[in-house]
Amino acid sequence: MKIIMLGAPGAGKGTQAKKIAEKYEIPHISTGDIFRANIKGGTELGMKAKSYMDQGQLVPDDVTIGMLLDRISAADCANGYVLDGFPRTIPQAESLTKALSERGEKMDYAIDVNVPDEAIVTRMSGRRACLSCGATYHIVYNPPKKADICDVCGEKLVLRDDDKPETVQKRLTVYHEQTQPLIAYYKNAGILVTVDGTKNLNEVFKDITDVLGA
């Protein structure tokens, strides 16, 4: 099963993508996590990505598309994957469609996690992230077992640099301009599913699995 998660920054794409990946035993591929791992590792890709991410801008398509297409060619993607944060622009979506059709493949679902902007800013200020393994928490809605410590790997949790309120506003503007048009793109492709992301995270997951099946 090949799934795309759509939705504004902070809508809960990553939270749901991890649960989908676990249930259906497919890899969770987050372009944001790949960039953050490169920033942490001090790679050239990481340095380039950081300058855009810290300003709430998208990393240019010429960097992002090749990186993602390489990743989905890996052996662990043979039975599908869940994409979180890609595509984010129409050129990214078109490149993905073209690359898959050249292999005789296509995406199965594009799941739009729908949350209004007002709820996003509140959520982001409470998010805590593990930069080591990519796990995410919320201090109220999804707290770690021990305050500020990752349940999965024991690393210290942080507020992401791009979760400051002024950067979140910029990311929302970029989302509406460049990423929201993908909803119509995947509606036209006949694979769009919209879920209400304001429900609690287990209810959102149930709405998704009701569509994906057992």
Instruction: Give yes or no for residue 205 binding ligand AP5 (CB under 6 A).
Output: no
Smallest gap from residue 42 Cβ to ligand AP5 (A) = 17
Instruction: Give yes or no for residue 186 binding ligand AP5 (CB under 6 A).
Output: no
Instruction: Give yes or no for residue 24 binding ligand AP5 (CB under 6 A).
Output: no
Instruction: Give yes or no for residue 12 binding ligand AP5 (CB under 6 A).
Output: yes
Quick one: CA dihedral 55, 57, 58, 61, positive or negative? Answer: negative
Residue from the set 43, 47, 74, 141 that interacts with ligand AP5 by CB under 6 A: 141
Quick one: CA dihedral 163, 27, 180, 93, positive or negative? Answer: positive
Nearer to ligand AP5, 85 or 186 (CB): 85
Structure tokens at 70: 């390489």
Residue from the set 15, 82, 131, 134 that interacts with ligand AP5 by CB under 6 A: 15
Residue from the set 81, 86, 109, 186 that interacts with ligand AP5 by CB under 6 A: 86
Residues 30-59 that bind ligand AP5 (CB under 6 A): 30-32, 35, 52-53, 56-59
Instruction: Give yes or no for residue 204 binding ligand AP5 (CB under 6 A).
Output: yes
Instruction: Give yes or no for residue 136 binding ligand AP5 (CB under 6 A).
Output: yes
Residue 206 CB: number of other CB atoms within 10 A? 12
- Measured CA to CA, the distance from residue 4 to residue 110 in angstroms comes to 5
Binding map of ligand AP5 across residues 151-170, x = CB under 6 A, - = no contact: -----------x--------
Nearer to ligand AP5, 2 or 127 (CB): 127
Nearer to ligand AP5, 20 or 136 (CB): 136
Give the footprint of ligand AP5 on this chain (CB under 6 A).
Answer: 7, 9-15, 30-32, 35, 52-53, 56-59, 64, 85-86, 88, 92, 123, 126-127, 136-138, 141-142, 162, 171, 197, 200-201, 204
